[in-house]
A = this chain, B = another copy of it.
Amino acid sequence: MAKITHVSPLAPAGGFPELPPIAGVRFATAEAGVRYQGRTDVALISADAGSTVAGVFTTSSTRAAPVLWCEESLRNSTLVDDKGFAILVNSGNANAFTGAVGADSSRRCAEAVAKALEIPSNHVFLSSTGVIGEPLPDDRIIAKLPLLEADLSDSAIADAARAIMTTDTFPKGAVRKLDLDGKTITLTGIAKGSGMIAPDMATMLVYLFTDAPVATELLQQMVSKANASTFNCITVDSDTSTSDTLLMIATGKADIDRLDSEEDPRALTFGNALHSLMLDLAHQVVKDGEGATKFVEVRISGASSDADAHRIGKAIADSPLVKTAIAGEDPNWGRVVMAVGKSGAAADRDRLSISFGDILVADKGWVSPTYQEQDGADYMKNSDIVINVDIGLGEGSATVWTCDLTKQYIAINADYRS
């Protein structure tokens, strides 16, 4: 957006990574003037016939029209393998809380793309991100379709990563390569998101691509599984978007036998690469958290269950008091204790141990005799902070990632729309 002029201090030092083309996937971007002039704000992604697709979406009960459209399309068993797919994304307007008018906008966009690319309209996936409650100027987007179609290129993924940004301060991309059956398989992905980010859903906009041939059902299984420990484990501000969407397309262009089942040992190798790719992108989203100056990993162990561990991790990562202490480089472990206590998960004060990085701060219910406040204060000056909490009750564990809460977050969000 015009207002965001800084770049997150946590942005990848190397800038946007070199993302190799995925055979069968092409990208184009345009300036449709959805909300702002002078920036690309629409991206069209096409995938060749033979591709498969999977997705996960926000669980918000007020989710936006394009999310409902995507869910309906994925549920629809009429998806076929011998047609291609497309994804149309715009920034500047979320087409959320726009009622029947919004649903009509989505349908018109999908039908226009379907006509242009000669695919069924339920093979067109849609995402809109930006302001809530204003009608989407779909006519401006549709008017750009001839230009977008003509520009489709397998090397324009970086442009697409930029076109979908809103309050993001850097475009997000990642790549993984693996060897299957002696062939090199590539996975790439782009993401956007830096506010209204919280766990318990597929967070923000994420598009993943691979040339591996993967059966639809297996692709969905692997995406959902990896999502649970990546995008569902990050939080910037505990707020849940109405538009969060993650879509993955597998084009099947790589010349190997199709991955059909989790029993196939190659699925494990592929799944690990997919998890690594998604974790990379999830971390980039946190590192672009609005106003973030610290990247924080909260590791919970010894909880009664994994679910309890996740709940405690989220309580810590969402706590404004923990997050402001981190912003202030204050090793205020008392606030970590507070957050454990409020999580609702089983916890026993006198079994709790807390470390900042390798520094044991609190041990079995009280400050550690070895702890020196200065050590904690020195550690908090790092830009990457690890908070370890051992609940001391069982075997449950989880890791959650977040960022600090700074005045810059307030500045960004107190005048985002006005």
Residue positions of A touching B, CB distance < 8 A: 58, 60-63, 94, 96-102, 131-134, 195-196, 198, 237-242, 318-321, 324-325, 327-330, 332-335, 337-343, 345-350, 352, 362, 364-367, 377, 405-407, 409-411, 413-418
* Neighbour of A321 across the interface among B98, B99, B237, B348, CB < 8 A: B237
B366 and A238 contact, CB distance less than 8 A: no
Given contacts A328-B418, A332-B417, contact A349 B97 (CB under 8 A): yes
B341 and A61 contact, CB distance less than 8 A: yes
Given contacts A60-B338, A338-B239, contact A320 B413 (CB under 8 A): yes
A340 and B240 contact, CB distance less than 8 A: no
Inter-chain pairs besides A58-B341, A96-B334, A407-B407, 9 sampled, C-beta below 8 Å: A60-B338, A63-B349, A96-B337, A97-B366, A133-B337, A133-B366, A238-B238, A238-B320, A240-B338
Q: Which residue of B lies closest to A324 (CB)?
A: B413
Given contacts A328-B413, A410-B410, A414-B330, contact A321 B97 (CB under 8 A): no
**A-B pairs with lowest CB-CB distance, top 9:** A132-B334, A328-B414, A62-B341, A240-B342, A60-B341, A324-B413, A99-B366, A407-B407, A99-B365
Distance between A386 CB and nearest chain B CB, rounded to angstroms: 19
* Complex contacts, A320 vs chain B, CB 8 Å: 237-239, 320, 405, 409, 413
A321 and B239 contact, CB distance less than 8 A: yes
Distance between A367 CB and nearest chain B CB, rounded to angstroms: 5
* Complex contacts, A131 vs chain B, CB 8 Å: 334
B242 and A338 contact, CB distance less than 8 A: yes
Complex Cα distance, B417 from A350, in Å, reads 23
**How many copies of this chain does one complex carry?**
2
Complex Cα distance, B63 from A335, in Å, reads 12
Q: Which residue of B lies closest to A333 (CB)?
A: B133
Complex Cα distance, B133 from A259, in Å, reads 54
Distance between A390 CB and nearest chain B CB, rounded to angstroms: 14
Supply 19 A–B pairs (Cβ within 8 Å), ascending by A. Answer: A58-B341, A62-B347, A62-B349, A62-B352, A97-B337, A97-B352, A97-B365, A133-B333, A238-B320, A242-B338, A242-B341, A320-B320, A320-B413, A324-B413, A327-B410, A328-B418, A332-B417, A406-B414, A407-B411
* Complex contacts, A364 vs chain B, CB 8 Å: 99
* Neighbour of A62 across the interface among B63, B102, B340, CB < 8 A: B340
* Complex contacts, A406 vs chain B, CB 8 Å: 410, 414
A337 and B413 contact, CB distance less than 8 A: no
A414 and B61 contact, CB distance less than 8 A: no
* Neighbour of A366 across the interface among B101, B196, B329, B349, CB < 8 A: B101
* Complex contacts, A337 vs chain B, CB 8 Å: 62, 96-97, 132-133, 242
Q: Which residue of B lies closest to A345 (CB)?
A: B61
Distance between A343 CB and nearest chain B CB, rounded to angstroms: 8
A196 and B338 contact, CB distance less than 8 A: yes
Distance between A408 CB and nearest chain B CB, rounded to angstroms: 9
* Neighbour of A413 across the interface among B94, B100, B325, CB < 8 A: B325
A239 and B340 contact, CB distance less than 8 A: no
